[in-house]
Every structure is written in C-alpha cells, then in structure tokens.
Amino acid sequence: MLAHPAHLLALGFGSGLAWVLPGTFGTLMGWLLYVWLDPYLAANQWIWAIVGAFIAGAWACQITGKALGVIDHGGIVWDEIVAIWLVLFVASNHFSSPIEQLTCVLLFRFFDMVKPPPIRWFDRHWKNGFGVMFDDIVAAFMTLLALAVYLHFLK
C-alpha cells in the first residue's frame, strides 16, 4: 500500500484491505471522511473535491489495478469513497441525520453490489481506471434517483 501514492489512495487509506467486504469498508471510510470534511467545505468546494477525487481516482485505480494484476481488484475502494461523497452531498438537504445518511449508504451499497443495468455494462466493458471509477458514479446516480422517487411519491 505504501509502495506508491496511488496505492494509498486507491486502497482507501487501508480501508480496502479489509479481509471481508472491502467495498463496504471503503464506503464506510467515505462516509466517515464526508462527516469529517463537511463542516469545512462549502457546496462549491465539495463539487471541486468530488471532481478532483474522481480524476485522481481514475489515475490511482489504473496504476494500482495494473500493479495488482486485476484492474478492478476488490481492495480498490477509492471509487466507493468518491461515489458515497456524491450521494451524501447531493442528498444532504433531505437526508442529513445519521440514520438518513445510513439509509443512503445502504442503498448505495445495494446498487454497487447488485450492479443492475446499466452499472453492470460499465463494470464489464470499461476495464481501466476511469471505468473502475465510473461504474460507482452510475451506482451513485441510481441511488440518488431512488431517493428522489422516494421523496416524490412516498414522503
């Protein structure tokens, strides 16, 4: 993990090294980082942070995937971290309590693990650092869509 800065980032500062459910641990790390950073970042700063983290993640995931011999290795969790930031940031006006944030996290994990279309297509066809990052962004958008449907029809 410490052999290259890209590995530290791609492996989620070690959260991706969990022996079971590394993606979930990465998502939880992302949630923790979001809660820690949110008081210090304005909305426009969050947007730049997410865009910058996505770009850096595409680079880091490409390098780390090649080093590990599997482009979308299970230990690579920076994609989950950035995606959950996107979900929590966009949903923050309606889902801000810890329980509501946990709901966002669980819903995102559902979409990320099950990979319904179109997530599955991107996961299978875009085999590079950008693809590793992008399929989780699609899962984040599907999470946000599900939350919007809930707000519109059920709340």
pTM for the model stands at: 0.95
pLDDT of residue 3: 84
Residues 33 and 103: their CA atoms lie apart, in Å, by: 17
Task: From first to last of the 155 residues of the chain, give the pLDDT tens digit.
Answer: 778 999 999 999 999 999 999 999 999 999 999 999 999 999 999 999 999 999 999 999 999 999 999 999 999 999 999 999 999 999 999 999 999 999 999 999 999 999 999 988 988 888 999 999 999 999 999 999 999 999 999 87
Are the C-beta atoms of residues 91 and 145 closer than 8 Å to each other? no
Residues 93 and 112: their CA atoms lie apart, in Å, by: 23
pLDDT of residue 103: 97
> In this structure, what DSSP letter does residue 8 have?
H
Domain boundaries, the chain: 15-149
Which residues, including other chains, have CB under 8 Å from residue 26's CB and lie 6 or more apart?
A: 12, 15, 16, 77, 78, 79, 80, 81
Cβ burial of 29 (10 Å; 0-12, 13-18, 19+) is buried
pLDDT of residue 154: 84
pLDDT of residue 123: 86
User: 19 is written with which tokens?
Assistant: 């022996």
Tell me the per-residue pLDDT of 129-142, one tens digit each, with 9 for 90 and over.
Answer: 999 999 999 999 99
